[in-house]
Amino acid sequence: MILVHQNSPLLNHPYIYPSTVPLARETIRLLEIQPGTPPESLRCRLIQASLSAVPTYSAISYEWGKSEVYVTISLDNKPFGIRPNLWTFLMHLRDTDTPKVVWVDAVCINQDDMTERGAQVSLMGEIYNKADSTLIWLGAKDSK
């Protein structure tokens, strides 16, 4: 089931990042997209990793879009709001049998924590450099 909401990505159930302690220096979160097939909901989990021993992952670069509408995914079995363009991209990436590991700023960085956001943005060059691949998404072919 897809839940679409206006204005607030988190509504009355804000997602609480796994650790209230700030990420250690050189530590990032990665998003593991769980296997599935439509019409199953998008299920994901966050993994913390050191940049010095990071697992294989793809970094995602995408257009955030101007939408004030958010789609709810399951993140660590809790609701989490993402923009429709990112939801479409993650659905395209999802495999039917194998988890996919990606880094995507909107989810892997706690956007409400300005200290963390600043520290993680300063690591973005290294995050993209250490990625096995970089995937770019400009939107679905029929979205323009």
Nearest Cα neighbor of 7 from 70, 61, 63 is 70
96: phi then psi, degrees, rounded to nearest 5: -80, -20
Mean confidence (pLDDT) of the chain:
85
> How far, in Å, are 45, 50, 92 from residue 36 at the CA level?
14, 28, 11
| Cβ atoms within 10 Å of 32's Cβ, excluding its own | 16
Q: 133-137 and 43-50: which strand pairing?
A: unpaired
In tens, the pLDDT along 8-23 reads 444 444 677 766 556 7
In tens, the pLDDT along 93-129 reads 999 999 999 999 999 999 888 989 999 999 999 999 9
User: Is-contact 48 27, C-beta < 8 A?
Assistant: yes
Residues 18, 20: Cα–Cα separation, whole Å: 7
pLDDT of residue 143: 53
- Phi-psi label, residue 77: left if phi above 0, alpha if psi -120 to 50, beta otherwise: left
